[in-house]
Amino acid sequence: MPVKYTKHYLHKLEDLMAETDFTLRYERGNFKSGYCILNSKKVAVVNKFFNHEGKINCLIDIIKSIPIDPEKLSDKNKALYLELSQTALKL
């Protein structure tokens, strides 16, 4: 599945993150990768100054790296999660 760099796709990824145990926050920061995951507090922080493409790439990386139980996701988010887990991000 090709990654779509649109605002709508960003909202889909944010909706998927909302159904996980992690809280998504957009904050200012000098993260080397553009994001930071605090596993002990279950918080994912993305640099708020990124454009849509940067935020989407960060969210895809986060979704692939955190433990997500697909059974807890809604049907549309489960389909999106399965698509993301099967594709590799091409930069």
Segments of the chain with pLDDT less than 50 = 91
> What pLDDT score was predicted for residue 34?
84
pLDDT value of residue 31: 73
**What is the distance between the alpha carbons of residues 82 and 52, in angstroms, rounded to a whole number?**
22
Q: What is the pTM of this model?
A: 0.87
Hey, where are the domains in the chain?
7-86
- Euclidean distance between CA atoms 44 and 63, whole angstroms: 10
What is residue 90's predicted lDDT score, i.e. its pLDDT? 52
**Cβ atoms of 57 and 34 closer than 8 Å:** yes
